[in-house]
């Protein structure tokens, strides 16, 4: 281990040590709680490579929906109109659009930044271990390397969707010296993610599951660049019944923290900040109330047991969809709208008609054609059509880490003024008896102007090539 760490600066050496946490191998996609720590003497074996793969897959759960509240679903949900604070426990500003305000000190964006890099680097290390030490091992499928390329691609995609322009992608290989980088612009991050997804498609060719995971990620990244025709082409081969869900454990560090923390800290507000959507009346979002919190709207999507929302009973093992055929269809719809093809509306109504019941594309239990009628009509002008499309995306993809990327695309690609996209104006935070949910301290103040997260300030000391964010624009 000393040899591996000798040339690595302290902040990145910690990432190497994290990659040594291992999981018991099970299947290509299941996550198991870590049972051992990889002995440095076995890293160069097939067993060590397999354990590093499983550790990387497990670590990926954290930036998506784990790491306490420091994940793209919670932090992104608070920053947008998907979620609001329930009791003032978040002191780092995402719900107020003040995440880069120095008065808040260490904020959620900083911690999410660290967790994203950890997951990204662990995927790199695990892939290198498989290539070096298990290239032909029957117990280590070749397609695993495609999976790891895809998971790394999603971490870079999340940097592009959530963070400022100018994020470095320092490489910390399992063997060899650390390679620091300068900051990448938002467009360069999307391009880097696309390259990783392309590599995943090649390396994961033996697994349709991993190939489709990469195709949807590539389409999502191309949307971020406003390359609609290419995005449409990227997902053409994705079947409607494709689903890639990230699995969480019932206990330990790889639990679904959206569920675990949701009971205490999270609520939903219709029309938040004047620009927010109405969430509570749509069955796709599973917004409920409970006797514990009175009229407070609760995000129960990951509190569903046996098909019934139970917002007072956390479900730490609830899986989260990372990509699916539903998202591929939504990409088709957006690409069609971009060129004036009326099939965009046909696709949206088709999803309402078919992604119900037991269909694989149904995002939550209990959807029926009766409570999700396929009666959307053309609103008659381009701005209203975009509004309708993005509202449908928001409801179908609720609490899956897409909303911040969508709002940023509305500003950057569709040229919407940012104050018409993110919550704005006066913060309204009413009390909710009978629980201890008093009005929040920020009630009556104004939302800030932040639209992206900033990096960990320690990046400057860890990376001599890093010079800070180029800009904080959408």
d(CA 99, CA 472): 12
pLDDT for 39 equals 55
Domain ranges of the chain: 1-256+321-474
Q: pTM for the full model?
A: 0.92
The confidence band for 101, taking pLDDT boundaries of 50, 70 and 90, is: low
Measured between alpha carbons, how far is residue 116 from residues 155, 156, 280 in Å?
Answer: 6, 8, 31
Under a CB-based contact definition with an 8 Å cutoff, are residues 144 and 206 in contact? no
d(CA 27, CA 364): 24
Does the domain made of 1-256+321-474 have the CATH classification 3.30.420.40? no
Does residue 5 surpass a pLDDT of 70? no
The separation between CA 322 and the C-alpha centre of its own chain, rounded to angstroms, equals 7
Q: What is the pLDDT of residue 243?
A: 98
Query: Per-residue pLDDT for 114 more than 70?
Result: yes
* pLDDT higher than 70, residue 65: yes
State yes or no: pLDDT of 2 exceeds 50.
no
* pLDDT digit string, tens, across residues 123-177: 999 999 999 999 999 999 999 999 999 999 999 999 999 999 999 999 998 888 8
Taking 50 as the threshold, does the pLDDT of residue 187 lie above it?
A: yes
Is the pLDDT confidence value at 323 over 70? yes
What is the reported pLDDT for 6? Answer: 27
pLDDT band with cut points at 50, 70 and 90 for residue 24? very low
Could you tell me the pLDDT band of residue 281, with boundaries at 50, 70 and 90?
very high
Arithmetic mean of pLDDT, 413-427: 97
**Residue 100 reports pLDDT greater than 80:** no
Angle 158-163-169 (CA atoms, 0-180°, nearest 5)?
70
202-216, 260-274, 401-415 — which is least confidently predicted?
A: 260-274
More confident residue, 174 or 81: 81
Q: Please compute the mean of the pLDDT values over residues 350-366 and round it to a whole number.
A: 95
| E-strand stretches of 253-293 | 266-267, 287-290
pLDDT given for residue 33 in this prediction: 36
Neighbours of 171 (CB within 10 A): 16
The more confident residue out of 438 and 94 is: 94
Q: What is the pLDDT of residue 439?
A: 78
Pick from 363, 331, 65: which is nearest to 220 by CA?
331
Asked if 224 contacts 405 with a C-beta cutoff of 8 angstroms, the reply is: yes
Q: Which helix (H) or strand (E) holds 175?
A: none
* pLDDT score of 407 more than 50: yes
pLDDT tens digits, one per residue of 213-251: 999 999 999 999 999 999 999 999 999 999 999 999 999
Lowest mean pLDDT among 108-122, 304-318, 358-372: 304-318
pLDDT reported for residue 60: 98
Query: For residue 261, which phi and psi values (nearest 5 degrees)?
Result: -90, -20
Strands 183-184 and 304-305: unpaired
Q: What is the mean pLDDT of residues 436-441?
A: 74
pLDDT of residue 98: 86
- 247 vs 369, which has greater pLDDT? 247
């Amino acid at each position: 281990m000393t040899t591996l760490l000798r040339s690595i600066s302290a902040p990145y050496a910690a990432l190497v040590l994290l990659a040594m946490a291992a999981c018991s191998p099970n299947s290509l996609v299941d996550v198991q709680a870590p049972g051992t720590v990889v002995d440095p003497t076995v890293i160069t074996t097939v067993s060590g490579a397999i354990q590093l793969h499983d550790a990387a897959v497990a670590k990926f759960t954290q930036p998506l929906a784990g790491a306490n509240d420091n994940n793209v679903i919670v932090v992104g949900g608070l920053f947008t109109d998907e979620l609001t604070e329930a009791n003032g426990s978040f002191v780092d500003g995402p719900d107020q659009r003040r995440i880069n305000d120095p008065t808040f000190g260490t904020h959620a964006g900083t911690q999410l930044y660290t967790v994203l890099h950890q997951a990204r680097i662990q995927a790199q290390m695990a892939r290198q271990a498989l290539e070096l030490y298990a290239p032909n091992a029957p117990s280590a499928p070749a397609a695993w390397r495609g999976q790891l390329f895809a998971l790394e691609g999603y971490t870079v995609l999340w940097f592009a969707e959530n963070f400022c322009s100018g994020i470095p992608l320092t490489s910390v290989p399992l063997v060899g010296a650390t390679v620091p980088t300068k900051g990448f612009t938002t467009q360069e991050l999307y391009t880097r993610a696309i390259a990783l997804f392309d590599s995943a498609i090649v390396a994961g060719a033996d697994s349709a599951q991993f190939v489709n995971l990469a195709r949807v990620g590539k389409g999502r990244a191309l949307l971020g660049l406003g390359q609609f025709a290419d995005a449409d082409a990227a997902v053409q081969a994705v079947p409607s019944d494709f689903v890639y869900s990230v699995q969480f454990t019932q206990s330990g560090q790889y639990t679904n923290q959206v569920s675990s923390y949701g009971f205490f800290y999270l609520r939903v507000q219709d029309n938040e900040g004047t620009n927010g959507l109405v969430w509570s009346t749509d069955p796709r979002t599973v917004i409920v109330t409970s006797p514990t919190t009175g009229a407070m709207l609760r995000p129960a999507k990951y509190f569903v047991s046996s098909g019934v929302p139970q917002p007072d009973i956390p479900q730490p093992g609830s899986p989260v969809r990372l990509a699916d055929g539903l998202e591929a269809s939504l990409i088709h719809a957006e690409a069609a709208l971009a060129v004036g093809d009326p099939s965009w509306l046909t696709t949206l109504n088709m999803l309402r008609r078919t992604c119900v019941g037991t269909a694989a594309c149904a995002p939550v239990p209990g959807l029926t054609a009766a409570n999700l009628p396929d009666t959307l009509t053309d609103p008659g002008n381009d701005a209203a059509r975009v509004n309708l499309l993005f509202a449908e995306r928001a409801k179908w993809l609720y609490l899956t880490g897409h909303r911040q990327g969508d709002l940023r695309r509305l500003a950057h690609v569709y040229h919407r003024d940012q104050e018409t996209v993110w919550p704005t104006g006066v913060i309204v935070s009413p009390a909710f008896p009978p629980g201890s949910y008093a009005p929040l301290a920020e009630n009556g103040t104004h939302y800030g102007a932040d639209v992206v997260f900033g990096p960990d300030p320690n990046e400057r000391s860890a990376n001599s090539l890093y010079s800070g964010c180029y800009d904080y624009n959408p």
